[in-house]
Structure 1
């Protein structure tokens, strides 16, 4: 029977038919202070489920039965026989009236309540009742349930009909249940309530997973002893806070809310024993001096009291994890509750349903920062934007955001002030800590100290890997990088894949389940770098720089290399950051990697991002090599090519002429770069109307490559295309076509049919066919070139805009205006959105204007339409 301060109610129903109805009743009764055990929350103990039901119902004050059309699962004959004489009398009465010889679990629950003379309330569904799910049971089960319902009516146990949830709740509330003074035992920290942000979906998923126990048989009979859940993730990601907020969110579903700090096996034992005291469980054993007896009393309470929540917190070592698992497995047989375990360890048994907790979304992180500092920060007009910036630099880590909010609030400063301090001296902010305002025992700088120590003891090579990864970007790292040896360093003693497993085990790295990548949080990287001494930091940076440089292998200007290079791009930018590499003073591999990155960004038309890198390469090579060194010439050429692409021809020319001069000065032995420099300078001269000199250089460049590389080399195709385009404009059509055909043949043989080099050849031939009135061939080649460039570069690349522009002009003259206009619009917007002065932007504007005028617009109307298009495009841009 219940104690004086508790009134126990057991709810019986077939879950898939009446689960939502039962849940409503449970919530109402818990709000009245009653202790409620739902059938769904019932867990099998050490014996059979039917025996556990009998034992539990014997202790209840009342049993509420929701009786529908479904029979539900039933115990085996052997399990039913285990009851012995417990229910012999009511069972005999039932058999005599119904002629049925088997009972389901829900039917047994009424017989057991009748046997123990418990108060019973029966609510029976009517014909117009809507079940949670349709009834799939067969004729035998349906007949058995109808016989049971007839027996209940025979006994006079039918009460109000069960029609809707609202009516059911009303009928339950009018019953004379006692309003008991119920105090739910708890030692959870206070809830953040409305300040808790960004975890709604996780809380709901956690609730669903804890309530959904494994099932056996066809009736959905629950068979778990304890439902456990291991929350694991990076230190500071909010595991404990999530567990605490879960407890408060669903407190009415639990008889007790308990938290035990379990950093070690000794802590687990000591803190379990402490639950015995008056502030929590208030057990009689609280006054005994022996801790072991107090702990045993708490374990007995957990085994004999259903419906509690227990949080085992900070299981961050293998020893702590093993002690917790042993507690659940061997010391709580028959216990009926939910256990949440928080840990930085990721290797948990599947039975504990491990759930990795990630950082907040960017929006939730910014909202948290703004909410925590509301009324305590100095407002500024840009604080919404700055909050997002801070969220980004802190990697959306909840603890880091809480520390930042406390720092801002205690100083009454603006968000901008914190961001500027972070950018100037992040080490000081990582070390800042004030226990009076932060609900956490340590600063960010030492948050992961335990994990670092365990990693070092378990695998020094894994710690070495982390020290190298600390210099990379916080973006996804391709696992293929692990297969690249670190240059000038001894190989790891373990397979690098195993080293990564060590990092993920301690949540110092996180592997993506949907791609072959992993990440290291930016603050883990920052703290790792901060912990290194100057000499070791320099050594690990040099190793990381060489490592990424060796992995960044391939032609950055060839789309076929992009699948390898693009995932490495953010990491190449990170290890070549000026603040890192300039103090080292080593030109290689810094300049080589910067050059590769610059070429990749240039080819991808990300010219604003590429230009400072290309200029840095030139500055490095000029500072560390002689003025006529080939590396200087290459750097000059690359910068000049970028300037040409952005229509800064006068600025590009001196760089280009210097590159050619150096190449010719060092051309005692053939250097293919010399032909490249000549070809680029020739294109610049053509664009500035120095046609004679341009043609001469184009022919020299072609001759050099044909002589030294052979007639079918891809470089020869470039020279052929450039010269042929020049000759087409000069109206030398026969020679131009011959050269273009040769270039197309070489490119198709070298790169295959779908490659930007092939698209260039096709586009050049299409232009020639158009002016020589071979229009079907011209259109076919234009469309093929457009298709290739769209597939290789994506829809917003300037090469795609050029192809669109050319095809639109062709269609305009073919009087296909309906197709021409949207193509011209796309081309115009691509050039406009690039944000720099592309050589074709004025031509595209002019072409679009002429197209609109050809449709009947005046020039003023055409310009107004263009402005309207730009406004519409701006409105559709996502906020920055």
Structure 2
């Protein structure tokens, strides 16, 4: 944009009135005036705010292109306000409003005389505009000749004068947010073929299909795109009569009375006004009903439908979804008073609860606008208490395009469903607002034929946009539709039976998922958790406490399988409390909760908390199930692993051996649980340096895992990892490395890159590289491991301490003493606090730290160390010993 030359006029307009603005600018420039207009003078890549500031300050006067869109826009207010502030009395005529659309001026703008070109033909409008801007000047009789060379400009064709378009459009909302891409898509699809195009805007009730069609039609009327007229037809009513009425009223043509209805309609098409024409059939229920009334295959006719149905291949389709989160919040803000916007912390959760449904957001926004004393927090509470029965949802408000409230809009679709489809819809309301595996729906409805269910799903629910397909075999309900279907379900005599069936189905599904913790099941696991929570929300009776406890346990175990230990803990604690309250302290199900919670605490490094839980679970199981039951073996194994990790090898070994014996006796020699016992016993032997006894157990364990679970299972990765640890301890580095690499690959593939097992695998591989002197390869692996384990476990977990120690050793061996010391000082207190002073890790760690300090003294680099009391005290001891 030319920033030096003064301009006569700056044209201020809203984007909806761009055609008018360009016509005005062209008219002024053709008359010899200089003009600044965003459409022509703001270049791509420029700073819009600075361009606008320069334009308003550079121009002598401002043209305001007035319409309701202009008045409603917050962005153009500063443009005309600047001109008004410079000339508040109007003496210099700095602000010249030109009204191009129906609107009512209020405030400061109402005090200024405007030019009105609404409904005026082009020549007269041009004269009005030029008369308004001139002082004494009159237009020359002939166009002035070109005065001389100037910078080349891009040639433009003269903008068309927006003509008066005949139309019968209903009232459109003045608050229209988003959907710019959809407006462009509608226009592109309607004009991509040289024949009559039929385009259907489809979607569930409340997505704003009618509003979008209406906004498109009004936009095109403003731009003069359909000189042949825009005809709005209510598809639920007599379409043929409406077409004839439109022709009679707007074209002053009356079909012969002796013709049949369809013949009269054809008569109208043959005599339709020249130019492109747009026909809109709103709320189509059956496509076949309107086919006889469609215009002939003439390129000038464009047909737009709105429908809740999926019309299939019969027409082109634009499926309208809900608003984006930002668009929904923007719409809400456009409707509510600014005083409420200042307390907008609930805007996001409110729009999320509404499922970003335009109808829901608009109803809530207009309700708040009528209730200035009602806060967002109060409204939020009302919605939580009354759901769709809240008054705010009941009916449409003045100024809305929609004529129904949310429930009434959904009721239209509900009534169109056959009874079996209504039954299925009520079952769907039991599921959570995540993907719904269709197999679970089938299991909830065992008395319905699979093919019948498929037909209901595809033809009625998907066909009416009451259900959305998100992936193969996976579907999703909209938030407010779920509320609506739930209200219908509550009216059914079999509601409690449906809930109980749903509970049993999701419990069984969770058990299946839990048995397959591979990465391919992680998404299924997340879905199962959500549906378990949905089932649990309905278990409100005291006698259902045990069902709640079971749900909590399964959710927690699914979290545990994903390495989400912190999320699992409170659920397991609550599950244990409920079972103790209902079953007493000594029931086997209580032992199950104790055992699972003990395993969780062990994984988190809470060994003091884990031991009494395992001991108590073992006692209950031995008492109720006998000494040889597999559940007893599970408790023995849990206690043995805890003792092994604590360095209590003498106590651990007989428990490991007994657990192995029980499992072999009850499960056979080739069961995965037997492989688990072999693996943990082998790790115990390795920790004691009994490598010859450990290796065959490791090898046998890995063979069983592979045979029973397949080569890609995480337990196979565990077998590979522990066997690699043994080889590393024996100095068999070349044999260990490929096992570590394969183990890491399986963990990452099946559990994701952030699982604790991945972190442990990375640290073990780094330890191998450190022992081989491959420090540059080891360091990034340790850092990655540290990041994972700190996030998934805790900063004080012994495994985190082990990684810190590993990294300290890498820096120590490279002479990076300052960095090494810091890590030693972080790791050693964790070993001492979590494992005890006598644990091998604590003892060996302290010894290595002492050797590290001796090396620092020998290298005369003690000045690089910190003032930490532990370091300084040990340095004094070592230096004193050296002097002696």
Normalised TM-score (structure 1): 0.70
Partner of residue 624, structure 2: 666
Find the aligned partners of 1:241 and 1:298 in 2 and give their Cα distance: 31
Partner of residue 78, structure 2: none
Find the aligned partners of 1:473 and 1:866 in 2 and give their Cα distance: 48
Q: Secondary structure at the match of 2:642?
A: helix
Relative to structure 1, is the Cα distance of residues 685 and 257 closer, same or farther in structure 2, using a 3 angstrom cutoff? farther
Relative to structure 1, is the Cα distance of residues 419 and 466 closer, same or farther in structure 2, using a 3 angstrom cutoff? same
Find the aligned partners of 1:843 and 1:295 in 2 and give their Cα distance: 88
Using the TM superposition, give the Cα deviation of residue 510 of structure 1 relative to its aligned residue in structure 2, in angstroms. 1.6
1:204 equivalent in alignment to 2:184 = yes
Partner of residue 472, structure 1: 431
Partner of residue 268, structure 1: 239
Relative to structure 1, is the Cα distance of residues 493 and 167 closer, same or farther in structure 2, using a 3 angstrom cutoff? closer
Find the aligned partners of 1:418 and 1:298 in 2 and give their Cα distance: 55
Find the aligned partners of 2:393 and 2:542 in 1 and give their Cα distance: 26
Q: Secondary structure at the match of 2:397?
A: coil
Post-superposition, which runs of at least 4 consecutive aligned residues in structure 1 deviate over 6 A?
A: 27-32, 290-295, 864-867
Partner of residue 326, structure 1: 292
Using the TM superposition, give the Cα deviation of residue 211 of structure 1 relative to its aligned residue in structure 2, in angstroms. 0.8
Q: Secondary structure at the match of 1:554?
A: helix
Relative to structure 1, is the Cα distance of residues 671 and 568 closer, same or farther in structure 2, using a 3 angstrom cutoff? farther
Find the aligned partners of 1:208 and 1:601 in 2 and give their Cα distance: 48
Find the aligned partners of 1:30 and 1:343 in 2 and give their Cα distance: 40
Q: Secondary structure at the match of 1:212?
A: coil
Q: Secondary structure at the match of 2:661?
A: helix
Aligned residues of 1:695 and 1:723 also touching (Cα < 8 A): yes
Among 724, 737, 744, which residue is 2:682 paired with?
Answer: 724
Q: Which ranges in structure 1 are unaligned for 5 or more consecutive residues?
A: 1-23, 33-163, 214-221, 868-880
Aligned residues of 1:232 and 1:344 also touching (Cα < 8 A): yes
Q: Secondary structure at the match of 1:340?
A: strand
Among 640, 656, 660, which residue is 2:614 paired with?
Answer: 656
Q: Secondary structure at the match of 2:544?
A: coil
Find the aligned partners of 1:865 and 1:698 in 2 and give their Cα distance: 33
Find the aligned partners of 1:359 and 1:766 in 2 and give their Cα distance: 53
Aligned residues of 2:595 and 2:617 also touching (Cα < 8 A): yes
Aligned residues of 2:804 and 2:824 also touching (Cα < 8 A): no
* Deviation by residue 1:831-857 (Cα, 9 ceiling, x = unmatched): 223374544223323433443444444
Among 640, 657, 660, which residue is 1:702 paired with?
Answer: 660
Using the TM superposition, give the Cα deviation of residue 712 of structure 1 relative to its aligned residue in structure 2, in angstroms. 2.0
Among 337, 362, 367, which residue is 1:407 paired with?
Answer: 367
Partner of residue 415, structure 2: 453
Partner of residue 813, structure 1: 771
Find the aligned partners of 1:422 and 1:651 in 2 and give their Cα distance: 43
Question: Which residues in structure 2 correspond to 1:376-387 (within 5 Å)?
Answer: 377-380=340-343, 383=344, 386-387=346-347
Question: Which residues in structure 2 correspond to 1:293-312 (within 5 Å)?
Answer: 296=265, 299-300=268-269, 303-312=272-281
Relative to structure 1, is the Cα distance of residues 250 and 182 closer, same or farther in structure 2, using a 3 angstrom cutoff? closer
Q: Secondary structure at the match of 1:312?
A: strand
Relative to structure 1, is the Cα distance of residues 346 and 623 closer, same or farther in structure 2, using a 3 angstrom cutoff? farther
Partner of residue 497, structure 1: 454
Question: Which residues in structure 2 correspond to 1:244-393 (within 5 Å)?
Answer: 244-251=214-221, 252=223, 253-255=225-227, 258=230, 260-264=232-236, 266-269=237-240, 271-275=242-246, 281=250, 283=252, 296=265, 299-300=268-269, 303-315=272-284, 317-318=285-286, 321-328=287-294, 332=296, 334=298, 336-348=300-312, 350-373=313-336, 375=338, 377-380=340-343, 383=344, 386-393=346-353
Using the TM superposition, give the Cα deviation of residue 526 of structure 1 relative to its aligned residue in structure 2, in angstroms. 0.7
Question: Which residues in structure 2 correspond to 1:720-759 (within 5 Å)?
Answer: 720-759=678-717
Relative to structure 1, is the Cα distance of residues 656 and 828 closer, same or farther in structure 2, using a 3 angstrom cutoff? same
1:825 equivalent in alignment to 2:806 = no
Relative to structure 1, is the Cα distance of residues 294 and 798 closer, same or farther in structure 2, using a 3 angstrom cutoff? same
* Deviation by residue 1:479-536 (Cα, 9 ceiling, x = unmatched): 33344353xx633596211121211122111223x53322111110111112333654
Partner of residue 467, structure 2: 509
How many residues get paired?
A: 675
1:442 equivalent in alignment to 2:412 = no
1:781 equivalent in alignment to 2:739 = yes
Find the aligned partners of 1:845 and 1:185 in 2 and give their Cα distance: 78
Partner of residue 358, structure 2: 398
Find the aligned partners of 2:811 and 2:331 in 1 and give their Cα distance: 51
Aligned residues of 1:470 and 1:529 also touching (Cα < 8 A): yes
Using the TM superposition, give the Cα deviation of residue 462 of structure 1 relative to its aligned residue in structure 2, in angstroms. 1.3
1:188 equivalent in alignment to 2:169 = yes
Q: Secondary structure at the match of 2:440?
A: helix
Find the aligned partners of 2:466 and 2:608 in 1 and give their Cα distance: 52
Among 383, 390, 393, which residue is 1:422 paired with?
Answer: 383
Question: Which residues in structure 2 correspond to 1:834-849 (within 5 Å)?
Answer: 834=792, 836=794, 838-849=797-808
Aligned residues of 1:461 and 1:494 also touching (Cα < 8 A): no
1:231 equivalent in alignment to 2:218 = no
Relative to structure 1, is the Cα distance of residues 710 and 300 closer, same or farther in structure 2, using a 3 angstrom cutoff? closer
1:617 equivalent in alignment to 2:585 = no
Find the aligned partners of 1:185 and 1:532 in 2 and give their Cα distance: 48
Question: Which residues in structure 2 correspond to 1:554-633 (within 5 Å)?
Answer: 554=512, 556-560=514-518, 562=521, 565-566=524-525, 568-577=527-536, 579-583=537-541, 585-586=543-544, 591-625=549-583, 627-633=585-591
Using the TM superposition, give the Cα deviation of residue 587 of structure 1 relative to its aligned residue in structure 2, in angstroms. 5.8
Aligned residues of 1:617 and 1:635 also touching (Cα < 8 A): yes
Aligned residues of 1:767 and 1:778 also touching (Cα < 8 A): yes
Among 150, 154, 157, which residue is 1:169 paired with?
Answer: 157
Using the TM superposition, give the Cα deviation of residue 361 of structure 1 relative to its aligned residue in structure 2, in angstroms. 2.2
Q: Secondary structure at the match of 2:404?
A: coil
Using the TM superposition, give the Cα deviation of residue 233 of structure 1 relative to its aligned residue in structure 2, in angstroms. 0.8
What RMSD in Å do the two structures reach over aligned CA positions? 3.8
Relative to structure 1, is the Cα distance of residues 398 and 682 closer, same or farther in structure 2, using a 3 angstrom cutoff? same
Q: Secondary structure at the match of 1:581?
A: coil
Using the TM superposition, give the Cα deviation of residue 257 of structure 1 relative to its aligned residue in structure 2, in angstroms. 5.8
Find the aligned partners of 2:593 and 2:468 in 1 and give their Cα distance: 38
Find the aligned partners of 1:866 and 1:234 in 2 and give their Cα distance: 61
Q: Secondary structure at the match of 2:280?
A: strand
Using the TM superposition, give the Cα deviation of residue 365 of structure 1 relative to its aligned residue in structure 2, in angstroms. 2.3
Q: Which ranges in structure 2 are unaligned for 5 or more consecutive residues?
A: 1-18, 28-151, 827-884
Whose relative contact order is higher, 1 or 2, with alpha carbons under 8 Å and at least 6 apart? 1
Using the TM superposition, give the Cα deviation of residue 378 of structure 1 relative to its aligned residue in structure 2, in angstroms. 4.4
1:764 equivalent in alignment to 2:745 = no
1:530 equivalent in alignment to 2:496 = no
Aligned residues of 1:270 and 1:291 also touching (Cα < 8 A): no
Question: Which residues in structure 2 correspond to 1:541-556 (within 5 Å)?
Answer: 541-552=499-510, 554=512, 556=514
* Deviation by residue 1:773-832 (Cα, 9 ceiling, x = unmatched): 112112222222111111111111110000111111221232222211211111111122
Question: Which residues in structure 2 correspond to 1:70-219 (within 5 Å)?
Answer: 166-167=154-155, 169=157, 182-189=163-170, 195-213=175-193
* Deviation by residue 1:576-596 (Cα, 9 ceiling, x = unmatched): 33x311337336765555433
Find the aligned partners of 2:775 and 2:271 in 1 and give their Cα distance: 79
Using the TM superposition, give the Cα deviation of residue 30 of structure 1 relative to its aligned residue in structure 2, in angstroms. 15
Find the aligned partners of 1:436 and 1:724 in 2 and give their Cα distance: 77
Using the TM superposition, give the Cα deviation of residue 694 of structure 1 relative to its aligned residue in structure 2, in angstroms. 2.3
Find the aligned partners of 1:738 and 1:418 in 2 and give their Cα distance: 68
Normalised TM-score (structure 2): 0.69
* Deviation by residue 1:303-351 (Cα, 9 ceiling, x = unmatched): 4443122221112x33xx32222211xx656583211111111134x24
Using the TM superposition, give the Cα deviation of residue 601 of structure 1 relative to its aligned residue in structure 2, in angstroms. 1.6
Partner of residue 46, structure 2: none
